[in-house]
Each structure stands twice: as structure tokens, then as C-alpha cells.
A and B are shown apart, each in its own frame.
Chain A
């Protein structure tokens, strides 16, 4: 069966520090991969999605970036965090073009102080 792992689960980072969140999917190949952000008590904001290795689409311009170095690995990064980057970050996957359902990882709580 397919599983998705996301880490770290929580982190507290100072303003201006870098960020790296990592996500891996097991049990499937060629998935579509996604990064969402959810501010406290708010909806899901799509940040990036990827349909293949090295292919990244950005939905919201900001100081975050994403990379997909391997088929089932998706990384969210920032060179310098802002206070407004605080939130709940969710990695998710979908079974390529044939699949409709998105499956979420357990999320990473980021607090920028």
C-alpha cells in the first residue's frame, strides 16, 4: 500500500533562517506531488505541485521554493524565513493523471519567531 512520510513534524525557526521540509512517498511511482500551507484556522493554500522529476509549478509567488530530485521525493525550502511563513505545511500525492484523490501527509507545524 502507499504511504507518505513528511518531516520534521514540528519546528521553530528564527526569522531569516533557512527551511527544509522533506516528503517521500512509498508504494507508487510517477505520483503528482503537492505542497500545501494552512494558516491557523484557515483553508488549504496550494504552494507547489510537481508532475515529474525536476518539474515544479508554483501557484503562489513568495520566498519559498520546491524541488523534486527523485520521483517520490519532494522538498520545500526557503533561504530566509519570514514571520508570515508560519503555518501548517502539508505534503500530498495523487496517482498521476489517472487518479483523482489526494492523500495528505501528517503535516509539519512551522513557527517562525
Chain B
């Protein structure tokens, strides 16, 4: 079945530093989605990427979808304490999404 690998598992950064998490799928994806889960909360949808090579930005967050539609990345510029949480990527199948294990981001003020 489809597998989605996400690295790193944990990332500790100083406030103001950049952060990147990477996602790789064993199969070509029709689309990929990113979610953020704050500590103690539930995952919340951030964005969906559909096209090969697509790049989308949300303020300090930049999302990329690889040319082969098998990998993706989320980059945060100049992290803030409000960025703390776990970021999940998810690859779309027919009925469900296959989630990566997530990257837990800690920001040191």
C-alpha cells in the first residue's frame, strides 16, 4: 500500500530560525495536503497541492510539491513561538489520506 515518509521526526529551532519538513511518498500522489496540530489540539488543514512543481505560500509558510508528485516540503521562515506544533503531510488516495508520522516543531524563545 501507499506509504508516506516524513522527516525529521523532531526539530528544535531558535526563534527566528528557519524550519523545513520533508515528505516522500512511495507512489505518485494525486495531491498532497498539509496539516498542523497544536499541542493538545486536533489536526487542522493548512493547504492542498495538486499540480506538479506547485509552490504555494501562506505568509511565512512555503509549500512545494515535487515535479514527480512524490515528494513535498513545508518551509517556515523566521519561526515564531506560535509555529509550535506537529506538522503532518498526507497523500490522497481514493477514500482516504495516508498521513506521514509528522514533524514535531519546538521553538526556543
Q: Which residues of A contact B (CB under 8 A)?
A: 32, 34, 41-44, 46, 49, 51, 57, 90, 94, 97, 100-107
In the complex the two chains form, is B42's CB within 8 Å of A101's CB?
A: no
In the complex the two chains form, is A104's CB within 8 Å of B43's CB?
A: yes
25 sample A-B contacts, Cβ–Cβ < 8 Å, listed by A number: A32-B96, A34-B96, A41-B104, A42-B101, A43-B102, A46-B96, A46-B99, A49-B95, A51-B95, A57-B95, A90-B42, A90-B43, A94-B96, A94-B97, A100-B31, A100-B97, A101-B48, A102-B33, A102-B90, A102-B97, A104-B43, A105-B42, A106-B41, A107-B41, A107-B42
Residue of B nearest to A6 (CB): B42
- Chain B contact residue count (CB 8 A cutoff): 20
In the complex the two chains form, is A49's CB within 8 Å of B48's CB?
A: no
In the complex the two chains form, is A44's CB within 8 Å of B88's CB?
A: yes
Q: Which of B33, B41, B43, B94 has the most CB of A within 10 A?
A: B43
B54 → A minimal CB distance (Å): 14
Q: Would you list which residues of chain B between 86 and 109 have a CB under 8 Å from chain A? A: 88, 90, 92, 94-97, 99-102, 104
Query: Chain A residues near B101 (CB, 8 Å)?
Result: 42-43
